[in-house]
Structure 1
Amino acid sequence: MAEVATSTTSDQLLVVIDPVARRRDGESVRIAKDVLSAGAPTKLCLPDGPEEFARALARRGSRRPVVIGDDRALVRAVGLLHRRRELAACALSLVPVGGALNLARSLGVPMGAVAAARAVLDGAERWMDLMVDDSDGVVLGAVRIPPLGAAPVREAAVGHPWLRTCRSLVRTLVPPRPSGTAVAPGSGPARLRVEVDGETLVDLHQPVRAVSVAPGARGTARVEVRPASVGAEASPLAAEGRAVTVSGAHFRYRADAVVSGPVRTRTWTVQEAALGLVLPTR
């Protein structure tokens, strides 16, 4: 992801603690609060839900916003500031606490509460590209479109032991499908049109198994399409551009930690250096 480093501006912090983080790992939350409070003037907010989370960010004043939470909390904060057209006015900080932290790790956020809190105090702003879709949704990392008919697993349900137990029981009770049995409609490759800056990379006549859109060189997104094939695996198709449109049959997609859809068309456009994130100095 393209980025530009600058020094941080305000010494006053608004620390918004996501309720999921408080429930999952109260000790890490406490450690992060102690480190932050010892290093800078800090106002703590403990929202009980998304509406209070949004109000806390909206009333931050001149304070630098710090989110203690997981990937979803980070994406929620970025989305709120984007819709208020305030992303350019401040850089966010994240202390990662919770279950889903792959996005935070990929962005360079330290994984320990102490290290992440110290980066909030001593780090530098790094301005990164951001993808925005035509429904005003934001994407910090990658968009992935699975095969048509693939059942998306919601992030909130993944960690429940009882759900894993039920799935294991179903697998033991249902016999494997014999070779040659017909596949249920909608469970095969998708037929999608993928356009990059107005140029068609793949059209509806070519079934595809997967599409990914991820940050590329500065100001562009990197697109990879994996065509369906018979026999030898087909080579992936790749391109880079500022605007990517996927259309065709109804499809679901995963953007960062959230599964969305089904939709018939979606366009993602890169906004250069639109997201400021405070990260450790190099």
Structure 2
Amino acid sequence: MAAFDQLLVVVDPVARRADGESVRIAKDVLGAGATVKVCLPDGPEEFAKALVRRGSRRPVVIGDDRALLRAVALLHRERELAESVLSLVPVGASLSLSRSLGVPLGAVAAARAALEGVERRLDLLVDDSDGVVLGDLRIPPVAHPSPTPAPDPAHHWLRTCQSLVRTLAARPARPSAPAAGPQRLRVEADGVTLVDLDRPVEGVSVVPDAAGRARIEIRPSAVGADAGPLRALAHTVTVSGPDFRYRADAVVGGPVRTRTWTVRAGAWGLTLPG
């Protein structure tokens, strides 16, 4: 049996809870096309141990965007990312990154891509604390709303009664959190200042492109002719200023006062449909 037919299938616990049927289908398809070892970790620590001890087996992660990020971050910390090729079967609620990378969202299609697809080398961003960004970076962080669960008819009457009680009680509404306003940040691209602290910005986004550079977009807080976004391409991006938070893919980081992100061209491999 060739080395590429030896798979380590790591099933994220969130995927097992979210959609056990899709997990079962993916395991069946993978098992029909290769020799697989299935690992069912109970948490991040066991997840990491399974990847580190994979030997010559090619890892296939069944899980959502966070599971993919966890796998890439671990292999980066172990300095094994350049020699590794990951496959992903997306299962879970947070799949926007998987979709943007071109991974099929169906369990059967994704499992077949893991078996028959081709390796694509992709860029990523690495920050000065050794964190990685696969998709996009946003300042301030943009909150992704949680998916609304499907209604349960068996408890419809209970929710109706609870709603009536709340209406009769007429409790005052809680004040909503204030919306994020403009921030004063210095943004530098390859050492060149694009915007300084004297010019507030509504937001900054940084995305690795396919040419070994990052696409930077800055939305100044201004009106009229100055309201258009500032755009640039660079190998390194440094953001500094008062304490700020950022969203790197699905994870919110900070607060920090300065952070530098550097593009690593072709730093990681992902199996995608040919």
TM-score range, shorter chain: 0.7 to 0.9
**In the alignment, residue 10 of structure 2 is paired with which amino acid?**
V
Asked if the contact 1:216–1:240 (Cα under 8 Å) also holds between the matched residues in 2, the reply is no
**In the alignment, residue 204 of structure 1 is paired with which amino acid?**
L
Name the residue aligned to 2:196: 203
Shift in Å, 1:9: 6.2
Asked if the contact 1:92–1:276 (Cα under 8 Å) also holds between the matched residues in 2, the reply is yes
Name the residue aligned to 1:218: 211
Instruction: Tell whether 2:98 aligns with 1:110.
Output: no
Shift in Å, 1:130: 1.1
Name the residue aligned to 2:72: 78
Instruction: Specify which of 52, 56, 64 is matched with residue 62 of structure 1.
Output: 56
CA deviations on 1:227-255 (whole Å, 9 max, x unpaired) are 00145670100110100000001111111
Name the residue aligned to 1:180: none
* Whole-angstrom CA distance in 2 between matches of 1:208 and 1:41: 53
Instruction: Specify which of 213, 222, 237 is matched with residue 230 of structure 2.
Output: 237
Name the residue aligned to 1:3: none
* Whole-angstrom CA distance in 2 between matches of 1:176 and 1:53: 40
**In the alignment, residue 245 of structure 1 is paired with which amino acid?**
T
Name the residue aligned to 2:35: 41
Task: Describe the SS at the equivalent of 1:158.
Answer: coil
Asked if the contact 2:3–2:57 (Cα under 8 Å) also holds between the matched residues in 1, the reply is no
Asked if the contact 1:247–1:266 (Cα under 8 Å) also holds between the matched residues in 2, the reply is yes
Task: Describe the SS at the equivalent of 2:82.
Answer: helix
Unaligned 5+ runs, structure 2: 150-158, 160-165
Asked if the contact 2:122–2:210 (Cα under 8 Å) also holds between the matched residues in 1, the reply is no
Shift in Å, 1:159: 3.9
Name the residue aligned to 1:25: 19
Instruction: Specify which of 239, 247, 258 is matched with residue 254 of structure 1.
Output: 247
Name the residue aligned to 2:134: 140
Name the residue aligned to 1:158: 146
Name the residue aligned to 1:88: 82
* Whole-angstrom CA distance in 2 between matches of 1:77 and 1:173: 45
Against the structure 1 CA distance between its residues 197 and 68, is the aligned structure 2 distance closer, same or farther, given a 3 Å change threshold? same
* Whole-angstrom CA distance in 2 between matches of 1:189 and 1:143: 17
Against the structure 1 CA distance between its residues 263 and 106, is the aligned structure 2 distance closer, same or farther, given a 3 Å change threshold? same
Quick check: which has more Rg, 1 or 2? Answer: 2
TM-score (norm 1): 0.84
Asked if the contact 2:3–2:56 (Cα under 8 Å) also holds between the matched residues in 1, the reply is no
Unaligned 5+ runs, structure 1: 1-7, 178-182
TM-score (norm 2): 0.87
* Whole-angstrom CA distance in 1 between matches of 2:43 and 2:129: 23
Question: Following TM superposition, where does structure 1 have runs of at least 4 consecutive aligned residues deviating by more than 4 angstroms?
Answer: 172-177
Instruction: Specify which of 4, 7, 17 is matched with residue 10 of structure 1.
Output: 4
Asked if the contact 2:137–2:206 (Cα under 8 Å) also holds between the matched residues in 1, the reply is yes
**In the alignment, residue 27 of structure 2 is paired with which amino acid?**
K
Against the structure 1 CA distance between its residues 234 and 121, is the aligned structure 2 distance closer, same or farther, given a 3 Å change threshold? same
